[in-house]
Structure 1
Amino acid sequence: MPSVVVVTDSTASLPPEVAEARGIVVVPLQVVIGADSYDEDSEEASPERVAAALKEFRPVSTSRPAPEVFREVYARLAAEGADAIVSVHISGDMSGTFESAQVAARGGPVPVTCVDSRQVGVATGYAALAAAQAAAAGATAAEAAAAARERAAACSSYFYVDTLEYLRRGGRIGAAAALLGGALAVKPLLTIEGGVVSSLERVRTSARALARLGELAVAAAGDEQVDVCVAHLANPDRAAALADTLGERLADQLGGREVWCAEIGAVLGAHVGPGMIAVCVAPAG
């Protein structure tokens, strides 16, 4: 085990095999379907179940890990030999997860540096990967945390939803609230800005939304080497088509790396609803 260990949360959307290979410990958030609460990484809280529940108008909500959960993880890692921990999490304006990590970090057995990524989804995951890469190269906790913040700040995240209703219900709509009212029938293009959901523009069709996501991703990449991820909830065909398009258009910037394409986790899915497609562009790690 490296002397500095990276912890993140399940909203970071890291494939389990990637997190394991990089030594990143993932703490799950909880999904509440009806009266039952499940860890996000459990079979009971699959994205498919959440999408089905939302379509059936069943109550779906989410909750952060309690500080005690983080405290136990930090203590276990210290017992296994960690000298310091860097804990990288979803934007503190979108979830109380970062706050729970901060509370748990106080008075722990080893120093814990908590990082608010100011991002959501795989952009947080890319930040955690940057911290893990730095730690594996011998960086201090402070240096690994700085690497996470730098990569998170450089990420560009764009997404569209079939309706703003799910974001409205969960109170996660932020500056995009200006799109409410008579605009619920359009396909809103959104981004993460200043740690919250913010509006970009509105389009009339899903096809146009997909085309704009592609254009925005290409513009964000520029001529730099980048990593790219396409995420979706209950919209696999269109997500795969966008990933294929970006793989072709950004072949030089990807340098042989594949475009990740996956269904988002249940927690984020509960807030965006079925049909959502997102793209994240990050400087290559």
Structure 2
Amino acid sequence: MKHEIAIVTDSAASLPQELVEKYGVTVVPIQIQFEDDAYRDGIDITREEFYRKLDGHVMPSTSQPAPSDFINVYERLLARFKTIISIHITSEGSGTCQVANIAKARFPGADIEVFDSKSASMGIGFLVVEAAEAVLSGKTKEEILRLLTELRPRIVSYAVIDSIRHLLKSGRVRAGQALIASLLSVKPLISIRQGVVEVVDRVRTRRAALDRLIELTLAAAGDNPKSRLAVVHGNVLDEANKLRDRLRPLVGCEEIVVTDIGPALAIHGGPGIIGVVCLPG
């Protein structure tokens, strides 16, 4: 007997393994490229190895999973499930949704829905969790897609970038801007909303940047116990845990997830990036 709905995402969602296992989510690895060497995230390269390489001279890049990865996943799941909802990193700058749709076309008549999260890291992750919980509560595919469409524009992400170097290498800022920021020791604070990255503040010290990050988080999450909150980081787990501990008495949500920010954002922000993702209640 087939179950009703399977949930698929990609590794850019940065879902902690305990949530992947709790909800039975299938994760398709994105590709990480260091010059001529390609790695499947979490399979051919660990996050620890990724950050070691990221500190080197070679600027890596990420790319969408191979079509065969999606085809294999969909084929396996369609043997057990009637419907697949496949939730992925924003199509702004990533071809993952496009590749998922190419794979979907290999299964004419199959009930596969590809959903663009217009987000990254736990912005995708929270939509995946919401979809998985909706499946468990007996919601239909149409109800789940309406829910995701409603929640998607509400996701807010903020991050503090420790060094402008990786932003410069990635081409996200002009060389003149990066040089000035570096000379002034400015810590850019960025927002990521609906797939658009914007600088929302520039702070002189990391401590002040983290204080500002908390202010923005409180404005977004408030004291609503239904809000979802995650602290995401680029290989600075101790600092992420301290930020979580500072937030706990200030916000109303029951749990604050702490997880790696994921290669898609770490490549641009560099090691030391730390941020908060909020889905307001």
Whether the TM-score (by the shorter chain) exceeds 0.5 is: yes
Aligned equivalents of 2:193, 2:213: Cα separation in 1? 16
Distance 1:177 1:76, change over 3 A: farther
Q: What number of residue pairs does the alignment pair up?
A: 276
- Deviation of the 1:135 alpha carbon: 1.9
- Deviation of the 1:73 alpha carbon: 0.9
Aligned equivalent of 1:12: 13
Match of 2:258 among 230, 237, 261: 261
- Deviation of the 1:181 alpha carbon: 5.5
Is the contact between residue 45 and residue 266 of structure 1 (CA under 8 Å) also seen in structure 2? no
Is the contact between residue 220 and residue 280 of structure 2 (CA under 8 Å) also seen in structure 1? no
TM-score of the two chains, using structure 2 as the length reference: 0.90
Aligned equivalents of 2:177, 2:275: Cα separation in 1? 18
Aligned equivalent of 2:86: 87
- Deviation of the 1:2 alpha carbon: 3.6
- Deviation of the 1:180 alpha carbon: 4.4
Percent of pairs with identical residues: 36
Aligned equivalent of 2:73: 73
Q: Return the letter of the residue paired with 1:106.
A: A
Aligned equivalents of 1:115, 1:178: Cα separation in 2? 38
Distance 1:219 1:65, change over 3 A: same
Q: What SS does structure 2 have at the residue aligned with 1:19? A: helix
The reply to whether residue 273 of structure 1 matches residue 270 of structure 2 is yes
Q: Return the letter of the residue paired with 2:217.
A: A
Alignment of 1:229-240 (within 5 A): 229-240=230-241
- Deviation of the 1:107 alpha carbon: 4.5
Q: What SS does structure 1 have at the residue aligned with 2:91? A: coil
Distance 1:8 1:106, change over 3 A: same
Q: Which stretches in structure 1 are left out of the alignment for 5+ residues? A: none
TM-score of the two chains, using structure 1 as the length reference: 0.89
- Deviation of the 1:32 alpha carbon: 2.1
Aligned equivalents of 1:20, 1:113: Cα separation in 2? 22
Q: Which stretches in structure 2 are left out of the alignment for 5+ residues? A: none
Deviations 1:205-236 (A, max 9, x none): 10111111111111101232212111111222
Aligned equivalent of 1:100: 99
Deviations 1:26-67 (A, max 9, x none): 11101223432221112x522322222222213422221022
